[in-house]
Structure 1
Amino acid sequence: MLLTVNAHGAGEYAPWLRDVLLLALAALASDAPDEQPDLLGADELALLAALGQGPAIEEAATRQTLQALLDDGISRTDPRRPAILDGETTLTFGELDASAEETARLLLSRGMGPGDRVGVLAGRTWRTVVAFAGILRAGLVYVPVDPEQPAERIRALITRVNAATVLGSEQDLSRSMLPENVRCEVPRLSAGSGFARSHRAKPADPAYVIFTSGSTGAPRPVLVSQGAVAALHSALAATVYAEAVAPLTVAVNSPAAFDASIKQLIQLASGHTLCLMSERTRQDPPRCRPIIVSSGWTFSTAHRHSYGCSSTPAPRSRCCRACC
């Protein structure tokens, strides 16, 4: 019997399709039809193994900390360059530096020390980014929480990580119904006077805590180290952002309480501008277009529940990447 298969248009995947077909036919002709056949050919298995391994991380990257990367990146970027765009407010790198510094001073003045958790009612505004940078500068641990959740759930999450201070906007803090002595509004300054950092973090020190969704029970806190996030930054710079020859404008699609947002926030260490979209905008692609044009996006990453695109004529590989 002669079997002809038209693989026109399959391109580089044609050999894989051939392998799958041959393995499937062999399984059908097998004396053990009830066994689960292996339908991956040798070439496809080799590629999947390589993708699972990922690029090698330089040893130096594993000795870095997120704290040092952010401080160095923010301080060496042109202070006049926009650091944060949120649709209503623009902060330059100079203003971000000063505001993060004041946030660090404020937290340390409240008696907080290395490794202490700081809750953040992480809305899609400049305050979340300032809180992120200020908490890490102080050697503390960033714990983002969705401010749109019920007040009872917010209190439960804050209690779970034993956070003595919660940062946010005045409106979100009031709605959370947290005790007055815990609430702290994120400051905004135009100039600072030196680093407030009293603790130099080490790679093994904690950087942030992200809660699981709780879909199978109560949300659980997951702790991520300084060194792990520094290695993530190095890996992204070598792959997703490898073609960047100048500072980009990076769209922040992911919810701040979702782990994927860290991939975008840490781009401040490379001098990139962050563009935060409102929840309403990110779920409505037609509303994105004027934001894209006015903000001048040059790069957007997206996970499977986010919408990411770019209006620039740069290569697609630079403008839009899927980071699941």
Structure 2
Amino acid sequence: MTDDNGALRWGVLGTGGIAHSFMEGLRATPTARVTAVGSRTRERSQEFAAAWGIPRAHGSYTDLAADPEVDVVYVASPHPWHHPHALLCLNAGKHVLVEKPMAMNAFQVSEMTAAAADNGVFLMEAMWTRFLPAHRLARELIADGAIGELRQISAEFGVNAPYDPDHRLFNADLGGGALLDLGVYPLMLASWYLGELTLVGATRRLSPDHMVDTHTTMLVRGEQGATATLSCASLTALPDRAVLAGTEGRVELPLFWAATDLVLHREGREPETFHRPFRANGYEYEAEEVARCVAAGLSQSPDMPWDESLRLAVLTDRVRDMGGLVYSAPTVKAVPL
């Protein structure tokens, strides 16, 4: 299911800001061709299609999922609807790349991976940070023992957004909160390096209406005893830096979630700086991973497998449980398919 040149035929579900960002990266991916877009209204779909030169514009997500000219769908809707929209596409026989977080809770993630398995199609959470060249290099350096034994990780991601209870970041009906939107990045980083994580503790600050978190800090422990301190915030600008410290040095990643640079500090040596720029905006690398896996007949990526998405969802569930925040189905507004 590719075009005559071997390129995957992509459909884009959703027309918000993240969909535009993904399109910029996809445009730099030779193994991709965007054939269709779907939105809640034909007008929005047509506007997006005109902006990016996409030949087919659907006025519903159901029509996009049924489009025979689409091989893989990028689900870019707000995260409360990742679950129904991904299921719609998976059950239509489409491969799916779904924005992070994969779903609102671990149960939904389990249903999505089961649907992918039942339909024999590929599914991946769009954790684009894992596929960036700077992070690939950091992994190689640490695996080669450049900093000795990894003992401690610190990572934080925070923005100082204006408070608006109707905005996606602060609206519980839209799955708001710093944890789900931003906290998945430091959690992902810790899980990537430390394996199965145990949540030792978490603390949070709530929004003025007490409906979502605006600042959450977590302490976790990895399989071998290494620890990580992780923070996210929606009303406070944080340094957005990650530090991976070992027995013989450390790796620092400025703007770690979108890293193009890293600094290696080793005992007795001058710091070494490495620059790994994007070809476009960084989203191209996860798209290439989808193409590689589909071409190889894989149902999941070895670098972002289903069990990793489930582990992250379980962790965010536990952090939210500590604060008594529950996103139940009746509180999430329905969106037409």
Q: With structure 1 as the length reference, what TM-score do the two structures score?
A: 0.26
Q: Which structure has the greater CA radius of gyration?
A: 1
Structure number with higher relative contact order (C-alpha < 8 Å, ≥ 6 residues apart)? 2
The structure with the greater share of residues assigned to helix is 1
The structure with the greater share of residues assigned to strand is 2
